[in-house]
Amino acid sequence: MVNIKINGIRIQVPDHTTVLEAAKKVGVHIPTLCHLKLDDFGIVNKVSSCRVCVVEEIGKPSLIPSCSALVYEGMNIRTDSVKALNARRNNLELLLSNHPFDCLTCAKNLQCELQSLANELHITEIHAKGEKMFYPIDKSSNAIVKDPNKCVMCRRCETMCNEVQTVGVLSAINRGFGVVVAPAFNIDLADSSCTYCGQCVAVCPTAALIARSDIQKVWRALANERRHVVVQVAPAVRVAIGEMFGMAPGTISTGKVVTALRRLGFDAVFDTNFGADLTIIEEANELVHRIQHGGVLPMLTSCCPAWVKFFEHQFPDMLDIPSTCKSPQIMLGAIIKSYYLKNLDILPRRLKVVSIMPCVAKKAEGARPELSKDELNNVDYVLSTRELGYMIKEAGIDFANLEESEFDNLLGESTGAAAIFGTTGGVIEAATRTAYEMITGESLGNVDFKQLRGLEGIREATVKIGSLDLKIGIAHGLGNARKLLESIKAGTSHFHAIEIMACPGGCIGGGGQPYHHGNQEILKKRQDAIYAIDKSLPRRKSHENEMVLKLYDEYLGAPYGEKAHDLLHTCYTPGERI
Amino acid sequence: MEKVNLDLKDLDLEKLAELDQYILTLDDPVERLINVLHRAQDIFGYLPPNLQLYIARKLNISAAKVNGVVSFYSYFTEEKTGKYVVSVCMGTACYVKGAEKVLKRVLKELCVEKNEVTKDGLFSVKDVRCVGACSLAPILTIGETVFGHMTEEKVPGVLNKFRGEINED
């Protein structure tokens, strides 16, 4: 422990505490910009590049960045001296002097950390007048829009892309005023091996990296009377969207989302959780088939499109390992475009499927050519949780006070197993519940596999299923996924099945979710809510979803059978690293 | 935007073999990335995107990282250079002693823009950060040779020395 003084207040703090953390303990707020710290999710950006958090150390000539400076015995800090305040204002003004002032029409208006900071420091004039950078905006991809003119060089995206996700697409290119954060050789994102995981979007303080907006396309489809527009909602959306309407993080708003979607004019409101239950039936069957017939092990989950793109580009020689199952949104899309369509008296191209996803990569997934049939995409438009929030606001719907309603049947029925797809560990827990009963033929009493839960980046567990010790691995964050894949490549892995989610925390922390602004408690509350939904449901095993069983009975035939393969399974394409 | 050539097949195999040989001598080539890039530039004359990509894959690091390093240091060039690279120092000392006039004269004598190669392929010109010979300011270097206390008037003579060399070949 060391004794220090902050603004005259004495405090004892542990060694290795930063000045920023120590100040927080005595109720002193220091503004930050580049700083990002979600340690429980393995995310820390500590580059001290923005100099917005500088404070004065009494008796020392130069100011120090409080986010990275460590305390020591006898340290005497002033965060509110004229010298510190002026330096902070100057540094912020310099950043602002090279920033576009289109705040009113900016996608991040009122969500921008630079804007909040300008407000917090009450900047009313910018004294520095200088050159402004001018770069083209990269709109090449189906998922992410990159506007380097709004970049403040905080390097958060680089930390996510290189250290957390190990995708290695973004880097600072050139030097001095000419620096731009971009893929190598400043090529378009679409030409790079970007996975579109969207973690750069999730942490970007400004609108330098945002998700592509598809809102207008959806408004147009809804307004077109000749279109039959159905919507599906992913499991992690319902535990996060309330945050956009002032509701507490972790508020479960499933019923309100359904009502809001009906009011927006969707012809039917389905649940991606139905697709998740369907995925489990297929995936568990595939796993049991691989185990019993000497197939390739371990089997890796394939629900997460960023993860799919990651292994295609980074491990193109291992494409036989992931499950061939389509993701829940695409499975449900394929069922809507076949099974649901056949009872509608309309031309196939008039049926449009919209997905509400916590994700940026799902936008790119929807556009993948192999996920279309007869030139019709399984899913037509993908909106993020945020985009749905904006539509609800634009439509003037009082979300927080909305009555609750139920999904349409039969593609709206789901179990607790599907609910937990929204968090790390959930898919494999759901698969285990089903695989257990498939292999043993016995009913599973306690469905809570607590050993599979948590936030450790890489977790392993053994589940006894009859005479089989099912060895399970779990990784969230692509950097952790890489470690597991490398152990498989080296032959040192001993797993039967591995669940991988690209985003730290799983879909609760997806790139399309309401911005967490660096507050990891928000992510934890979303996770708690996911497990609360599971616990509240009468059925908690996917194979007990009566509507899924009905679908197999009436339409698909045997699980993992011929028709199921045609509609619910996919293939992968090797990519390159660039 | 101009299409970036990332085709590894366009790289000279003999030169690549020489580079591979060098990389083999390093214990930890990733830690020695800058050395690898120096050697690559020595062998190829410059570091085109496809060569940077080759190095990234060889070292199992991201191309963005390699490109970040290459584009940061003014020593590295991504453009094809002349046989002789004329580097005019624009460091503070050289600048205040008239480096800009020297640079202008060099460009005029050779009829090129910065980073452009002369028609005969002999010269290209670039401005560089301080080369650490401030007492000789202003200076320019051609290849490994340093010319100190430069003036506009000295430029043609200095360039001719290198033209002469070629004529004697």
Nearest chain B CA: its distance from A309 CA (Å): 16
Is residue A406 part of the annotated active site? The answer reads: no
In Å, how far is B111's CA from the nearest CA of chain A?
A: 26
pLDDT (tens digit per residue) in A85-142: 999 999 999 999 999 999 999 999 999 999 999 999 999 999 988 889 999 999 999 9
Judging contacts by C-beta atoms under 8 Å, the chain A residues touching residue B65 are 162, 168, 171
Mean pLDDT of chain A: 95
Q: What is the pLDDT of residue A150?
A: 97
CATH 3.10.20.740 applies to domain A2-97? yes
Whether A576 is catalytic is no
Task: Tell which residue, A307, A367, A376, has the closest CA to residue A337.
Answer: A376
Model confidence, pTM:
0.92
| Residues of chain B scoring pLDDT < 50 | 167-169
Q: Give dist(CA B140, CA B150) in Å, integer.
A: 7
Which residues of chain A does B57 touch, with a Cβ-Cβ cutoff of 8 Å?
577
A407 CB contacts (<8 Å, ≥6 apart)? A258, A269, A270, A271, A413
- Please give the full DSSP string across A346-391, using - where no structure is assigned: S-GGGEEEEEEES-SHHHHHHT-GGGEETTEES--EEEEHHHHHHH
Q: What is the pLDDT of residues A453-501, one digit of tens each?
A: 999 999 999 999 989 999 999 999 999 999 999 999 998 888 999 999 9
- Contact pairs from chain A to chain B, CB under 8 Å: 60
Question: Is position A161 annotated as part of the catalytic site?
Answer: no
Cis amide prior to A410 (ω within 30 degrees) = yes
d(CA B26, CA A330): 48
Q: Report whether pLDDT(A452) > 90.
A: yes
Instruction: Please tell me the predicted confidence (pLDDT) of residue B169.
Output: 44
A133-211 is classed CATH 3.10.129.10: no
pLDDT digits (tens, 9 = 90+) for A331-356: 999 999 999 999 999 999 999 999 99
Q: Is A21 a catalytic residue?
A: no
Catalytic residue status for A365: yes
User: Distance (Å, rounded) from C-alpha A298 to C-alpha A527?
Assistant: 27
Mean pLDDT, range A511-524, rounded to an integer: 95
Query: pLDDT, tens digit, for every residue of A255-280?
Result: 999 999 999 999 999 999 999 999 99
**Domain boundaries of chain A, sorted by first residue:** 2-97, 133-211, 215-568
User: How far is it, in rounded angstroms, from Cα A126 to Cα A123?
Assistant: 7
CB of A426 closer than 8 Å to CB of A271: no
Report the pLDDT value the prediction gives residue A136, as an integer from 0 to 100: 95
Tell whether B33 is within 8 A of chain A (Cβ): no
Residues in chain A with CB shorter than 8 Å from the CB of B6 are 185, 187, 578
- The domain defined by A215-568 carries CATH number 3.40.50.1780: yes
A507 flagged as catalytic: yes
The β-bridge partners of A45 are: A36
Answer whether A173 sits within 8 Å of B68, measured CB to CB.
Answer: yes
A137 touches chain B (CB under 8 A): no
Tell me yes or no: is domain B84-168 CATH 3.30.460.10.
no
The verdict on B134 touching A (C-beta cutoff 8 Å) is no
Q: Kindly state the tokens that stand for A223.
A: 């307004």
The verdict on a CB contact (< 8 Å) between A171 and B53 is: no
- pLDDT for position B2: 64
Domain boundaries, chain B: 8-72, 84-168
Q: Do B65 and A136 touch (CB under 8 A)?
A: no
